[in-house]
Amino acid sequence: MVKAVVGANWGDEGKGKITDMLAENADIVVRFQGGANAGHTIKNSYGKFALHTLPSGVFYDHTTSVIGNGVALNVPKFFEEVNSITSKGVPMPKIMISDRAQVVMPYHILFDEYEEERLKGAAFGSTKSGIAPFYSDKFAKIGFQVNELFEEESILRDKIKRVIVQKNVLLEHLYHKPTLKEDEIYDTLMEYKKMVEPYVGDVSAFLCNALKEGKTVLLEGQLGTLKDTDHGIYPMVTSSNTIAAYGAVGAGVPPYEIKQIVTVVKAYSSSVGGGDFVSEIHGAEADELRNRGGDGGEYGATTGRPRRVGWFDCVASKYGCRLQGTTDVAFTVLDVLGYLDEIPVCVGYEIDGEVTTDFPVTRRLAAAKPVWKKLPGWKSDIRGIKKYEELPENCRKYIEFVEEQIGYPITMISNGPAREDIIYRESPLKK
C-alpha cells in the first residue's frame, strides 16, 4: 500500500514529524519532489534534526530511504546530511537514489542568486538553492539525470558543451558574471558520480516489486498545496508540484496505488517567502505566536528566516485539502494555541464586497480580506494528553469547527513535536 504525507498550506505544517511517526509501520519512505530548499524538523530519541533531502523515515533501521526521480538532488548536500545524522549516532540508513533523478548543478545555485540580485525588490524570496533554475533546465531538457553520470566521456562532454553555450550567453550578457567551463562541469559530474554510485537504482521497479510483496510505501511531500506550481499562489510558488498526485510521477508508482493521503494541516498559519497571505497577522500579536510556534519558534529550518504567521485559514486549508485528495487530516501544533483567551479563525474571504469560501486565483487573492470568527481558547497545556475525550472542551470545539469548515476528517491531532505526541480520533466525516 502507498500512503502519502503532504501539506495543505504553505509548508512547515509538521510533515516531518508525521512522516517520522508513520514510518514506524512503513518499509520504504520516498521523497518525490523538491530539493534542499525547505526543511523538516524532527525530534526523536536521537535528538533534534533538520532534514532537507533525506526522507523523514531515515531514523528507523527497518526502512529504506528513497530519492525519487522528481527530486532536485543536490549531491554534496545530500551526503552532508547523511553524515550529519550518522555522526549523531543514527545508524547508516539504507538509501536508494533514482537513476532518473536529476542533479542540482552548482550553476543552478549561482543562477538563483544572480536572478534574485537582478530582481532586487521584486525578487521571489528564493532560498537560493537553485530550485527554479534546476526545474527550468529539467523541463527544457538540458538537465543531467543521475544515469547520465555513467555515460561515456565523449557523449557527456558533448552535452556539457551544448548546455553551457546557452548558460554562458546569460552569464556574460545578462548577469555580467564569470562563464562556465566544460572541464569544471565534467569534473563536478564525475565527483557526483563517485558519491552516488553505491546507491543508484531503478526506483520505480523497486517500488512496484515492493508493492507486489505487500510492503508499505510512504511518499513524503515537501512544502504544501499553496506552494504547488500549478495549484498554488503562482508565481510565489515552488518549482515542483507539491500535491500527492505528483507522488505517482515523482516516485514512479501507479496513481491507483495511493490509498491513503494524510494531509498535514497546522492549527494556525505560517509561510515563508513572498505572496499574499490573507490571514497574516503583524506586530506584537504575530511576534508572540511566532516565538511560541512550532518547537522553539517559527523560524525556517533551512534559512533561519522568521516565518510570517497568521491565524488558521479555513478557506486556504479547505482548498489545500481538496487538491491533495485528502483521506485523513493530521492537525498539528495545536498545543501552541493554549495561551490564547480567544482564537481568531479566518472563515471566509471578502473580495470586492462579496464573501467567498472558495480559494481564488492569485490575481483575486490580493484583494481578499479575512472574515474572522473568534472561538474561545482553552487556556491550558494539552501536551501529554493521549485521548481525544481528555482534551479540554474548547479545544475539541476548535478541532470540530475546523473540521466542519474544511470538510475533511481530522483523524490525528498532534499535540507536541515528539513521535508519541499524537491523538487518534474517530471522525464523523471518515467513510
- For position 31 contacting ligand GDP by CB under 6 A, the verdict is no
Q: Does 320 bind ligand GDP (CB under 6 A)?
A: no
Strand intervals (E) in 286-362: 308-310, 312-313, 328-332, 342-351, 354-356
Distance CA 17, CA 10 (A): 16
Q: Which of 36, 39, 35, 63 is nearest to 51 (CA)?
A: 39
**Could you confirm whether 12 is annotated as catalytic?**
yes
To the nearest whole angstrom, how small is the minimum distance from the Cβ of residue 12 to ligand GDP?
Answer: 4
Closest CA to 344 of 319, 383, 321, 370: 370
Residue 17 interacts with ligand GDP (CB under 6 A): yes or no = yes
Separation of alpha carbons 31 and 96, rounded Å? 11
- Distance in Å, CB of 42 to ligand GDP, minimum: 7
Residue 143 as a binder of ligand GDP (CB under 6 A): the answer is no
Given CA atoms 120, 125, 128, 132 in this order, what sign does their dihedral have? Answer: negative
Q: Which of residues 371-430 bind ligand GDP (CB under 6 A)?
A: 414-417, 421
Q: Which is nearer to ligand GDP, 13 or 112 (CB)?
A: 13
Q: β-pairing, 47-51 with 40-44?
A: antiparallel
In angstroms, what is the minimal distance from the CB of 383 to ligand GDP? Answer: 8
Cα 153 to chain centroid distance, Å, stands at: 36
**If binding is defined by CB under 6 A, does position 336 make contact with ligand GDP?**
yes
- Write down the residue that cell numbers 554510485 correspond to: 197
Q: Is residue 335 close enough to count as binding ligand GDP by CB under 6 A?
A: yes
User: Do residues 94 and 126 touch, judged by C-beta distance below 8 A?
Assistant: no
Cβ proximity to ligand GDP: between 273 and 416 the closer is 416
Q: Cα–Cα distance between 111 and 222 in angstroms, integer?
A: 22
Nearest to 416 by CA among 60, 42, 9: 42
Pairing of strands 410-414, 328-332: parallel
Phi, psi of 96 (to 5 degrees): -135, 130
Least separation in angstroms between residue 301's CB and ligand GDP is 5
Side-chain-side CA neighbours of 170 within 13 Å: the count stands at 13
> Could you say whether residue 11 binds ligand GDP (CB under 6 A)?
yes
CB of 386 to ligand GDP, least distance (A): 13
CB of 274 to ligand GDP, least distance (A): 18
The nearest distance, CB 78 to ligand GDP, in angstroms, is 17
14 touches ligand GDP by CB under 6 A? yes
Closer Cβ to ligand GDP, 78 or 206, answer by number: 78
Q: Is 20 in the site for ligand GDP (CB under 6 A)?
A: no
Q: Which is nearer to ligand GDP, 250 or 294 (CB)?
A: 294
13 binds ligand GDP (CB under 6 A): yes
Binding of residue 16 to ligand GDP (CB under 6 A): yes
Instruction: List the grid coordinates of 216.
Output: 508499505
Q: Measure the N-to-C terminal CA separation of the chain; round to a whole number of Å.
A: 18
Report if residue 55 touches ligand GDP, rule: CB under 6 A: no
Segment contacting ligand GDP by CB under 6 A, of 35-43, 139-147, 277-285, 318-326: 35-43
CB of 11 to ligand GDP, least distance (A): 6
- Give the residue with the Cβ less far from ligand GDP, 196 or 301: 301
Which CB atom, from 99 or from 421, has the smaller least distance to ligand GDP?
Answer: 421
Contact between 244 and ligand GDP per CB under 6 A: no
Interacting stretch for ligand GDP, rule CB under 6 A, among 11-19, 62-70, 151-159, 393-401? 11-19
Return the CA Rg of the chain: 22
Neighbour tally for 50: CB within 10 Å: 14
Residue 52 binds ligand GDP (CB under 6 A):
no
Query: Per CB under 6 A, which of residues 271..310 are in contact with ligand GDP?
Result: 294-295, 301
How many other C-beta atoms are found inside a 10 Å radius of the C-beta of residue 183? 9
* Beta carbon of residue 337, minimum distance to ligand GDP (angstroms, whole number): 10
- Per CB under 6 A, does 41 bind ligand GDP? yes
Residues 401-430 as b/e (b if ≥16 CB within 10 A, e otherwise) read bbbebbebbbbbbbbbbbbebbbebebeee
- From the list 20, 27, 40, 137, the catalytic residue is 40
- Total residues at interface with ligand GDP (CB under 6 A): 25
Which set of grid coordinates corresponds to residue 100? 532518473
Rule CB under 6 A: say whether 7 interacts with ligand GDP.
yes
Cβ proximity of 14 and 330 under 8 Å: yes
Per annotation, catalytic residue among 12, 20, 137, 421:
12
**Spatial CB neighbours of 164, under 8 Å, sequence gap ≥ 6:** 179, 180, 181, 182, 185
Which residues of this protein are in contact with ligand GDP, per CB under 6 A? 7, 11-17, 38-41, 43, 294-295, 301, 332-333, 335-336, 414-417, 421
**Enzyme catalytic residues:** 12, 40
